[in-house]
Amino acid sequence: MKRFARILLRTLLVLFVLINIISAFHAYKFTHFYERNEISNKTDAQKNGWDKTKEILFGINFAKKQNNAPDSAFRSVQLTTSDSMKLAAWYVPADSAKGTVILFHGHGGNRSDVLAEADGFHKMGYHTLLVDFRAHGESQGNTCTIGVEEAADVKAAYDYITARQEKNVILWGISLGGATVARAISEYGLKPARVILEMPFGSLMDAVEGRLVIMGLPRQPLATLLTFWGGLEHGFWAFKHKPYEYAKKITMPVLLQWGQNDPRVSRREIDAIYGNITAPKQLMVYANSGHESLCKKEGDKWMTTVNTFLNQ
């Protein structure tokens, strides 16, 4: 009986160590993006059994998504953050000057992903600044901290626009972008005129759970392990990264938007963020949308809702 107990204990210990090693590798891969020439270009059909086994055990190397330039006239801008990261951005002027909207994309995306929203803001009469987060698009770096250090990217863009003496500055972000905008306001005391957050995650743990759900994997204990290792690898306590807490420091009017069919961000997370906002606020739910561009999916509703909010 004692021998069986020792074997069982050793087996459990080995499994615990293996699960942590695998989780550490996956957390690392999830928070890193590479230039296309730095990763394998094998298609799924070209991958052998060992290639696929390595991906399961150690994760996949993700390439930075390539940008497609706007159709309208724009100016390329390089921003420098407080920690010396070089960020790529587009400044797109509008015919009129109601204000400037700074747009931030989601995890694994780039500024091209928010061109539809930028076009919508132009039609409303706003200049726009579209920014590639660090480690995304054409910006410097390979490491993404899911909104922690990226808050400095938001501040750099905000400082650039305010230094130009532009008035009525609006911060807009989707998914990771929305969560990072909330953190930047909380961390740096930014004072935009208004804020639009679309489907921001409630906490980093929630974001990890949402990703596991769409991958068809169990939430726990994987979410806890991935969150722990992701933070440890980047030098911060990941369990404190909570946009629903950052929302308490937002003092300007907020439009919070969410797709009812969102498989990644739950209504519970949205309600937690909304409940902590003490400033004037509005929640808009899109019945036919998931975790995607609400502007592209339900364009008329998006245009009406956003335009009304900006003119209140």
Q: What is the 3-state secondary structure (H, E, C) of the chain?
A: CHHHHHHHHHHHHHHHHHHHHHHHHHHHHHCEEECHHHCCCCCHHHCCHHHHHHHHHHCCCEECCCCCCCCCCCEEEEEECCCCCEEEEEEECCCCCCEEEEEECCCCCCHHHHHHHHHHHHHCCEEEEEECCCCCCCCCCCECCCCCCCHHHHHHHHHHHHHCCCCCEEEEEECHHHHHHHHHHHHHCCCCCEEEEECCCCCHHHHHHHHHHHCCCCCCCHHHHHHHHHHHHHCCCHHHCCHHHHHHHCCCCEEEEEECCCCCCCHHHHHHHHHHCCCCEEEEEECCCCCCCHHHHCHHHHHHHHHHHHCC
| Average model confidence (pLDDT) across the chain | 90
Question: What is the per-residue pLDDT for 104?
Answer: 98
pLDDT tens across 237-279, in order?
999 999 999 999 999 999 999 999 999 999 999 999 999 999 9
**Homologous superfamily of domain range 74-203+241-310:** Alpha/Beta hydrolase fold, catalytic domain (3.40.50.1820)
Task: Output the pTM of the full model.
Answer: 0.90
Residue 128 clears pLDDT 70, i.e. is over it: yes
Residue 155 clears pLDDT 80, i.e. is over it: yes
pLDDT tens across 3-62, in order?
767 776 777 777 777 788 888 878 888 888 888 766 656 555 656 665 556 666 666 777
